Amino acid sequence: MLKLRVAPSVANHRTVPHGGIYSAGLGFDPKIMDFSSNVNPLGFPSSVRDTLKETSALFSVYPDSDSTQLREGLAKYLKVTKDQIIVGNGATEIIYNFSKAFLGKKRVLIPIPTFGEYEAAARLEGSKVSYFETMNLNQDIDEFVKSIPKNHCIFICNPNNPTGVLTSQKNMLKILEASQKNSVFAFVDECFIEMSSPKESVVSKLHKFDNLFILRSMTKSFGLAGLRVGYGLGSRNMIGILNRIKIPWNVSGISQNIAMKALSGKSHLEKTRKLVVRERKFLKDSISKTKFQCHDSQANFILIKSKIGAKYMQKKLIKKNILVRDCSSFKGLDDKFIRVAVRTHSENQKLVRELNKL
Ligand SMILES: Cc1ncc(COP(=O)(O)O)c(C=O)c1O
């Protein structure tokens, strides 16, 4: 029998638990209200509705490996140039390619609790990961900035999954300045910022920081989770390297085409933000204060602390066709936390009713 010899980082690699119907062991069922994935509550923009016939012509064609048109569209949307953009099979592919290209066995700092793939990708490259525990980076900003120089790369999720906390652009600039001064990579994940407060984004600061890499995803903000389209922004040098090491044809032609169409749905994002603000308040105000504490969120999801165990809650709620994210797998949280996405009013009403019955 062939003896498989793998590097220790590969042998020790653990997949990261996520939300979503399939992770919960469920099949696709339109009855299930999925509060466990933080996808746009309005779904995708109407601009992509009629694309199926058109995209079927692409089924037998190899896609453009460089996602040229989509990168041009994104460049216009973000007011950068196309050579500052890489497109990935979801944002997750880009986290792994970034880590492969730039991390190696160096030191990486991650504020926790946060999205688990940064750590998994960094460890796969043999990086030494340290944590900075915080439930609100704005409050702990000076302390965090002090710890930057000892590292080769920092990962910041903004707004942060799962807390929903948005670090202000002012505080992000403190982080970027300290990291640039110390030649530290700053990886800033803005996958949720379009559904929160885009004016706090650091995309407009990209030209000032050659150590800055920004991650975005169309899977969430444009409701295209099934198509897997993410992108990253960085210096031409960084993007050149990432474009060289990615697998060819990493994003299907159908996904590229539909993502292009989605970009014209800017008013969809404005509508989404209004709904998120209104419904997030509704959820916060309606969820019983005695049993549950809602963490202050500026994002399209809310972290809820409860006296009841997360697994028990998830099990009870799924019987009512409601799927919530059990957050016990997030480093820095325990088994008393769940996360719920902000969805439409009637869905949120059902969630509140069932939560308050627990
Ligand atoms: C903060 C954050 N970044 C990136 C991703 C990955 O996004 P994608 O679906 O585009 O791979 C997720 C998915 O949950 C996420 O929560």
**Residues 250 and 285 occupy one common structural domain:** no
**pLDDT greater at residue 265 or residue 329:** 329
* Residue 75: pLDDT over 90: yes
The CA distance from 40 to 30, in Å, is 16
323 vs 62: CA distance, rounded Å:
37
Task: Please check whether residue 148 is in contact with residue 155, taking contact to mean a CB–CB distance below 8 angstroms.
Answer: no
Q: Is residue 240 part of a domain?
A: yes
Per cent of the chain over pLDDT 70 is 100
One domain for residues 108 and 248: yes
218 pLDDT more than 80: yes
**Residue 217: CB within 6 Å of ligand 1?**
yes
Q: In CATH, what number is assigned to the domain containing residue 309?
A: 3.90.1150.10
Does the structure show a pLDDT above 80 at 266?
no
Check residue 248 and give its pLDDT: 97
What is residue 186's DSSP assignment? E
Residues 279, 347 within the same domain = yes
Residue 288 has pLDDT above 80, yes or no: no
Distance 91 CA to ligand 1 centre (A): 6
What is the Cα 56 distance to its own chain's centre? 29
Report which of residues 24 and 270 the model is more confident about: 270
Mean pLDDT for the stretch of residues 82-106: 97
**Does residue 103 lie within any of the structural domains?**
yes
Place 105 in a pLDDT band, splitting at 50, 70 and 90.
very high
At 264, the pLDDT band (50, 70, 90 cuts) reads: confident
Tell how far CA 181 is from the center of its chain.
27
Residue that terminates a domain, selected from 213, 228, 263? 263
Position 26 in a domain: yes
Same structural domain for residues 172 and 86? yes
Do residues 219 and 311 share a domain?
no
Condensed to tens digits (0 to 9), the pLDDT of residues 313-334 reads 999 999 999 999 999 999 999 9
Q: Which of 22, 115, 303 to mutate to test the pocket of ligand 1 (most atoms within 8 A of CB)?
A: 115
β-bridge partners, 157: 189
My answer on whether 226 and 209 are in the same domain is: yes
Say if CB 186 and CB 212 are below 8 A apart: yes
Residue 90 is part of a domain; what is its CATH number? 3.40.640.10
What average pLDDT does this structure show over 342-350? Answer: 97
Ligand 1 centroid to Cα of residue 16, in Å, is 12
d(CA 160, CA 112): 9
Range of the domain at 127: 46-263
Does pLDDT of 99 surpass 80? yes
Domain count, the chain: 2
For residues 19 and 162, membership in a common domain is answered with no
What was the pLDDT predicted at 162?
98
Assign 98 a pLDDT band (cuts: 50, 70, 90). very high
Q: Are residues 154 and 173 in the same domain?
A: yes
Specify if 1 maps to a domain.
no
Helix (H), strand (E) at residue 201? none
Instruction: Evaluate if residue 187 carries a pLDDT over 90.
Output: yes
